[in-house]
Amino acid sequence: MLEGAELYFNVDHGYLEGLVRGCKASLLTQQDYINLVQCETLEDLKIHLQTTDYGNFLANQTNPLTVSKIDTEMRKRLCGEFEYFRNHSLEPLSTFLTYMTCSYMIDNVILLMNGALQKKSVKEILGKCHPLGRFTEMEAVNIAETPSDLFNAILVETPLAPFFQDCMSENALDELNIELLRNKLYKSYLETFYKFCKNHGDVTAEVMCPILEFEADRRAFIITLNSFGTELSKEDRETLYPTFGKLYPEGLRLLAQAEDFDQMKSIVDHYVVYKPLFEAVGGSGGKTLEDVFYEREVQMNVLAFNRQFHYGVFYAYVKLKEQEMRNIVWIAECISQRHRTKINSYIPIL
């Protein structure tokens, strides 16, 4: 790409960037969270959300209000906003936005295949699918029996197709294979997305690359953590790691050899960025590794808004909104289950 995005960025994307920054300003503030936490019932929560930018998005819900209804409506709202961005975007922003949906599509495909494996009805699982990752052929996923089947019949026309080149196999789709498939897809997806951002250059690359690197490293950690005590071989494990990021390549090789959490921790000690994260685990308030990662992600996404003329704001906004939704759902769950002791362990968005 040409240098100096600030000269002509606004010609094509200025409107959307302005819009997304406005949307970001509508995220819930610390004060809102404090008020939400004080709510006694979900109705109170609804009333309070009405005073924020969510407005009366729950107005048409019939009683009784449940957490899943709130979740669905929030997702619908986010999806509506995203669709608006997407419909008004020009190249290469539209490709960027398509890349963003890919991760949700992967999740949906895997979810549907798992559902088919457990003989659940498609409709039930469709409700759980993320609306951002919806595509027409999605529901036909369960007719496929092998990954290559899946690719040839269903996904060849979707944006997911390029990620399949690594995982064509004739193995039957059992639970382990599906999990492997997901990770391979993810790896391939992250690598392609990373390459796209890198090739795009400019501020977009400067902002997006660290975020994606973190995402890749996080996946590597999670995969390692989840593979302890499973039949996954160490070689196989290594093939699942995305091949970029701060850990690549030495860290990943070491991670592939790790056998328990302590070994992982000692590997992480070599990395200044991740050391404090691992040290924070289990500290004050019993944070899990996941929480710590989420916090770091929020931090990076908020920082993305400090730069202008780049696409990272769209990614950051969607991720922040997702985190906010997770927070609201967490608070709502705590309220509805009358389990107030942990209500404060949401991830604050700075």
Partner 1 sequence: MGSMFRSEEVALVQLFLPTAAAYTCVSQLGELGLVEFRDLNASVSAFQRRFVVDVRRCEELEKTFTFLQEEVRRAGLVLPRPEGRLPAPPPRDLLRIQEETERLAQELRDVRGNQQSLRVQLHQLQLHAAVLGQGHGPQLATAHTYGASERTPLLQAPGGPHQDLRVNFVAGAVEPHKAPALERLLWRACRGFLIASFSELERPLEHPVTGEPATWMTFLISYWGEQIGQKIRKITDCFHCHVFPFLEQEEARRAALQQLQQQSQEMQEVLGETERFLSQVLGRVQQLLPPAQVQVRKMKAVYLALNQCSVSTTHKCLIAEAWCATRDLPALQEALRDSSAEEGVSAVAHRIPSRDMPPTLIRTNRFTASFQGIVDSYGVGRYQEVNPAPYTIITFPFLFAVMFGDVGHGLLMFLFALAMVLAENRPAVKAAQNEIWQTFFGGRYLLLLMGLFSVYTGFIYNECFSRASSIFPSGWSVAAMANQSGWSDAFLAQHTMLTLDPNVTGVFLGPYPFGIDPIWSLAANHLSFLNSFKMKMSVILGVVHMAFGVVLGVFNHMHFGQRHRLLLETLPELTFLLGLFGYLVFLVIYKWLHVSAASAASAPSILIHFINMFLFSHSPTNRPLYPQQEVVQAMLVVLALAMVPVLLLGTPLHLLCRHRRRRRRPTGRKQEDKAGLLGLPDASVNGWGSDEEKAGGLEDEQEAELVPSEVFMHQAIHTIEFCLGCISNTASYLRLWALSLAHAQLSEVLWAMVMRIGLGLGREVGVAAVVLVPIFAAFAVMTVAILLVMEGLSAFLHALRLHWVEFQNKFYSGTGYKLSPFTFAATDD
Contacts with partner 1, residue ranges (CB under 8 A): 35, 38-39, 43-44, 47-48, 51, 59-60, 122, 136-140, 142-143, 152-154, 156-157
Q: Which is nearer to partner 1, 281 or 343 (CB)?
A: 343
Q: Which is nearer to partner 1, 31 or 341 (CB)?
A: 31
What is the smallest separation between the CB atom of 195 and partner 1, expressed in angstroms? 28
Any idea what DSSP says for residue 91?
T
Query: Which residue has tokens 């819900």?
Result: 61
R_g of the chain, CA atoms, integer Å:
21
Which long-range contacts link 174-182 to residues 24+ away (Cβ below 8 Å)? 174/117, 175/114, 175/117, 176/231, 176/232, 177/147, 178/110, 178/113, 178/114, 178/117, 179/110, 180/236, 180/240, 181/110, 181/113, 181/147, 182/106, 182/107, 182/110
Beta-carbon contacts of 168 under 8 Å, excluding residues fewer than 6 positions away, are: 147, 148, 151
Any idea what DSSP says for residue 122?
H
What is the smallest separation between the CB atom of 51 and partner 1, expressed in angstroms? 7
Q: Which is nearer to partner 1, 51 or 257 (CB)?
A: 51
Residues shown for the chain: 350
Q: Which is nearer to partner 1, 143 or 176 (CB)?
A: 143
Q: Which is nearer to partner 1, 118 or 306 (CB)?
A: 118
Query: Which residue has tokens 């100096």?
Result: 4
Euclidean distance between CA atoms 37 and 325, whole angstroms: 14
End-to-end alpha carbon distance in the chain: 33
Q: Which is nearer to partner 1, 154 or 240 (CB)?
A: 154
- Sign of dihedral through CA atoms 272, 278, 284, 290? positive
Any idea what DSSP says for residue 27?
S
What is the smallest separation between the CB atom of 143 and partner 1, expressed in angstroms? 5
Euclidean distance between CA atoms 111 and 138, whole angstroms: 10
Q: Which is nearer to partner 1, 284 or 338 (CB)?
A: 338
Question: What angle do helix axes 93-117 and 175-200 make, rounded to 10 degrees?
Answer: 180
Q: Which is nearer to partner 1, 135 or 305 (CB)?
A: 135
Question: What angle do helix axes 42-50 and 30-37 make, rounded to 10 degrees?
Answer: 150
What is the smallest separation between the CB atom of 246 and partner 1, expressed in angstroms? 41
What is the smallest separation between the CB atom of 187 and partner 1, expressed in angstroms? 26
| CB-CB contact of 194 with 188 (8 Å) | no
Q: Which is nearer to partner 1, 152 or 226 (CB)?
A: 152
What is the smallest separation between the CB atom of 136 and partner 1, expressed in angstroms? 6
What is the smallest separation between the CB atom of 231 and partner 1, expressed in angstroms? 32
| CB-CB contact of 239 with 183 (8 Å) | no
What is the smallest separation between the CB atom of 242 and partner 1, expressed in angstroms? 30
What is the smallest separation between the CB atom of 59 and partner 1, expressed in angstroms? 6
